[in-house]
Amino acid sequence: MKNNAENYSRRSALKKMAGTTAMAVAGASLAHRLSAAEAVLDSNLKGKVNHSVCRWCYNDIPLEDLCKAANSIGLTSIELTGPEEWPVLKKYGLTSALPWGAGKGIAEGFNNPALHDELVKSYSEVIPKAAAAGLTQIICFSGNRNGLDDEKGIENCAIGLQRLMPIAEKYKVTMVMELLNSKVNHPDYQCDHTPWGVALCDKVGSDRFKLLYDIYHMQIMEGDVIATIKKYQKYIAHYHTGGVPGRNEIDDTQELNYPAIMKAILETGFKGYVAQEFIPKREDKIASLRQGVQICDVA
């Protein structure tokens, strides 16, 4: 059931665009939880990893409170945010390492030529806004297959994306397509294997188009995470975390060895961001976020 909840929550957030900050929870209760979380672990980080967090996983925490928590933990980014939220992040000295605010969501993407005009218009409007806000990446999606074979999907996506490369290159904003699993969370999604995404990058032929390697999703689809990261590191602009199975905390309650994965990422020379994108299962969500950052904060 938790996977269905994740689908609904994230897809709803993407479709509504930015600025739809979640309803506030009780202030006193939240303040208590934040204070408790700050006492859990030392927030001094080693400085080798750029840490981010995905907004949608904490939708029940008001954005300003999440910004304060991010500062206390040592995060420098809250991502999957849109244009109306970026000024709030700036107020707290934060960036959005991988924003959204364009497109039609996960299921309707660049593999459908009928959507190209709409998608090009949407991204053409948001890319300059992102650049003006000092942001350098923006998320995008392949869309669902709907009977389309993989080769045709790559061809269709490349045609649409190539229309946007001149504006992406002009504003120095990289479009980053997310690799998602089609087995559990996003049935029929086309960009569901790393080699497919790599083939698309080669077809588009611009350094302003790269991949978001979601560790959770790709563990489900193909496994062999560390070897895949090493093999395809030049195509990867961003990483997401999540515990397998269940998409919850990334500690020893799940199967992935995140410290080893993070060391492998750093060994590739990666200088971008790694974002926590797990759904906290524990009551104290900020404490879980702090723990996740500490687990990934390798030297």
DSSP 46-113: -SSSEEEEEGGGGTTS-HHHHHHHHHHHT--EEES--TTTHHHHHHTT-B-SS---SSS-SSS-TT-G
The answer to whether the CB of 165 falls within 8 A of the CB of 209 is yes
Residue 171: inside a domain = yes
Residue 249: inside a domain = yes
Dist. CA 17–CA 15, nearest whole Å? 5
Residue 291: inside a domain = yes
β-sheet bridge partners, residue 54 = 79
Q: Which residue has the tokens 């990289």?
A: 174
Low-confidence ranges of the chain (pLDDT < 70): 1-43
Per the structure, the complete domain to which residue 217 belongs is given by 47-296
What's the confidence (pLDDT) of residue 9? 54
Residue 92: inside a domain = yes
Q: Can you tell me whether residue 278 is helix, strand or coil? A: coil
Dist. CA 137–CA 81, nearest whole Å? 12
Residue 156: CATH number of its domain? 3.20.20.150
pLDDT tens readout for residues 103-137:
999 999 999 999 999 999 999 999 999 999 999 99
What's the confidence (pLDDT) of residue 8? 40
Residue 227: inside a domain = yes
What's the confidence (pLDDT) of residue 2? 35
Residue 222: inside a domain = yes
Residue 34: inside a domain = no
What's the confidence (pLDDT) of residue 27? 39
What's the confidence (pLDDT) of residue 223? 97
What's the confidence (pLDDT) of residue 44? 85
What's the confidence (pLDDT) of residue 11? 52
What's the confidence (pLDDT) of residue 3? 40
What's the confidence (pLDDT) of residue 43? 56
The answer to whether the CB of 174 falls within 8 A of the CB of 140 is no
Q: Which residue has the tokens 């003006």?
A: 132
What is the tally of structural domains in the chain?
A: 1
Residue 212: inside a domain = yes
